[in-house]
């Protein structure tokens, strides 16, 4: 068996391959990819709360301060960096919470290249590594007052551990019983417009005179909990989600008649007369688009609420006993200071406790063969498992080397 390569990136080397000298800090990692050295963790600003990124271009001997996109990981006591490919760096944060330990810095993915064209600068983008895959979100649309919220609430009440609601942003004023962060993120127009420009929204639309939008984070947060995400959005928003890279199930809710829609909207008593009339006017074109555009996978008539709810459950495969909780297993890696990392094609083996494989106390394998998603959301599909250092671990290393 050949010696597997070990990467000790805890301490910066005094001299990088390019000949430049760097100040060594225990919370920095340096890694070479495609003629560039990425220095991660060493923010120029000492008070920075998140990990910084600087790049040394070896061909020009120039430092680059890249545009950094995505949610940045918080600073930590130390970090490890390995490169499972030429397009991204995998970072393991020392001493982090179990669900916050593994991050990816994309340096040359299609998303990064597209953003470089938009920004006209070198771009890198963070995403958090998550175990397993997200379930297909459910997009529910329909005219105002048709009963979308009522149906979604019933579903969430009956299956609280199975579904999670994507909390939208809106510039409209809260209704009496509505709470910020639960029903909506109530937002200033200027703030929302800036966030849209910064690419934080999966979709957005002007609906009945206000701005509404689904942030990428809102959908990712639900998936992080191991739940299936439900989006209650208008038809324009549904169209945008359909055009995105996200695969979802699209359901349109229809009223039994325009008269009944008006009765429900008025009976709800949440809108002024002027707003009711505006919503009813918009309902006509929404119904036309919803029923005839082929945008939706399923159309449900909400005549009798109980019957419609049963049909919705059937569509979602919930008419049996499917509503059990989805367990998201805790990740229990907390690396001690002097670990070693063995990098194979699709697996990264991390020995905790000792750099000597045979003496190590705990051995983890990260399987990166099925990664999906990525910046500016999450990188999903990461598999993490503990292996027995005496037998299975050695077998894995054998295959790698």
Ligand X SMILES: Nc1nc2c(ncn2[C@@H]2O[C@H](COP(=O)(O)O)[C@@H](O)[C@H]2O)c(=O)[nH]1
Helices marked H in 225-271: 235-243, 258-268
Say which of 93, 242, 279, 380 is annotated catalytic: 279
Q: Does 187 bind ligand X (CB under 6 A)?
A: no
Q: Does 207 bind ligand X (CB under 6 A)?
A: yes
Query: What Å distances lie between residue 45 and 31, 57, 126, 254, CA to CA?
Result: 21, 21, 19, 54
Q: CA-CA distance, 254 to 153, in Å (whole number)?
A: 17
Say which of 175, 194, 263, 281 is annotated catalytic: 175
Q: Does 266 bind ligand X (CB under 6 A)?
A: no
Helix and strand numbers (H, E) in the chain are 9, 23
Indicate if 311 belongs to the active site.
no
CB 381 within 8 A of CB 370: yes
Element (H, E) at 362: strand 362-367
List of residues contacting ligand ATP (CB under 6 A): 142, 144-150, 264, 267-268, 302, 304-305, 308
Q: Which of residues 124-163 bind ligand X (CB under 6 A)?
A: 144, 148
Tell me whether residue 147 or residue 344 sits nearer to ligand X (CB atom).
147
The window from 82-90, 199-207, 327-335, 380-388 that contacts ligand X (CB under 6 A) reads 199-207
CB of 272 to ligand X, least distance (A): 12
Indicate if 175 belongs to the active site.
yes
Q: Does 232 bind ligand X (CB under 6 A)?
A: yes
214 binds, among ligand ATP, ligand X, none (CB under 5 to 8 A by kind): ligand X
Q: Does 6 bind ligand X (CB under 6 A)?
A: no
305 binds, among ligand X, ligand ATP, none (CB under 5 to 8 A by kind): ligand ATP
Q: Does 221 bind ligand X (CB under 6 A)?
A: no
Indicate if 279 belongs to the active site.
yes
CB 150 within 8 A of CB 259: no
| HEC string for 59-80 | CCCEEECCEEECCCCECCCCEE
CA angle 85, 86, 90 (to 5 degrees): 55
Tell me whether residue 160 or residue 174 sits nearer to ligand X (CB atom).
174
Kindly provide the b/e burial profile for residues 237-269, where b requires at least 16 CB atoms within 10 angstroms of the residue's own CB: bbbbbbeeebebbbbbbbbeeeeebbebbeeee
Q: Which residues bind ligand X (CB under 6 A)?
A: 144, 148, 168, 172, 203, 205, 207-208, 212-214, 232-234, 236-237
So which residues are the catalytic ones?
A: 175, 268, 279
């Amino acid at each position: 068996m050949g010696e597997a390569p070990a990467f000790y990136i805890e301490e910066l080397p005094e001299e990088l391959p390019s000949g430049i000298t760097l100040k060594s800090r225990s919370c920095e990692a340096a890694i070479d990819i495609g003629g560039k050295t990425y220095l991660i963790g060493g923010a120029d600003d000492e008070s920075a709360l998140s990990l910084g990124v600087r790049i040394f271009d070896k061909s020009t001997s120039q430092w680059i301060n890249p545009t950094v996109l995505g949610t940045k990981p918080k600073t930590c006591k130390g970090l490890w960096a390995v490169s499972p490919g030429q397009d991204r760096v995998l970072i393991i944060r020392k001493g982090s919470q179990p669900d916050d330990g593994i991050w990816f810095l994309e340096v040359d993915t299609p998303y990064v290249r597209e953003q470089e064209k938009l920004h006209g600068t070198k771009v890198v983008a963070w995403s958090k590594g998550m175990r397993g895959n997200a379930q297909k979100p459910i997009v529910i649309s329909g005219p105002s007052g048709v009963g979308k919220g009522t149906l979604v609430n019933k579903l969430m009440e009956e299956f609280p551990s199975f579904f999670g609601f994507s909390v939208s942003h809106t510039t409209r004023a809260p209704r009496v019983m509505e709470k910020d962060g639960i029903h909506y993120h109530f937002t200033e127009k200027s703030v929302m417009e800036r966030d849209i420009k910064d690419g934080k929204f999966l979709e957005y639309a002007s609906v009945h005179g206000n701005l509404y939008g689904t942030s990428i984070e809102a959908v990712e947060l639900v998936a992080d909990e191991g739940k299936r995400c439900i989006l209650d959005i208008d038809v324009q928003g549904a169209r945008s989600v359909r055009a995105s890279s996200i695969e979802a199930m699209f359901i349109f809710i229809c009223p039994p008649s325009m008269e009944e829609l008006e009765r429900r909207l008025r009976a709800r008593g949440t809108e002024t007369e002027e707003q009711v009339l505006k919503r009813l006017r918009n309902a006509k074109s929404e119904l036309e688009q919803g029923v005839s555009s082929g945008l939706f996978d399923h159309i449900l008539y909400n005549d009798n609420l109980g019957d419609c709810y049963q049909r919705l459950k059937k569509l979602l495969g919930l008419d049996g006993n499917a509503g059990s909780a989805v367990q998201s297993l805790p990740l229990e890696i907390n690396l001690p200071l002097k670990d070693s990392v063995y990098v194979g094609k699709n697996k990264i083996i991390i020995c905790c406790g000792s750099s000597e494989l045979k003496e190590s106390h705990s051995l983890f394998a990260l399987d990166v063969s099925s990664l999906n998603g990525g910046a500016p959301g999450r990188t999903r599909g990461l598999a993490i498992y503990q292996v027995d250092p005496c037998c299975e671990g050695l077998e894995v290393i054998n295959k790698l080397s």
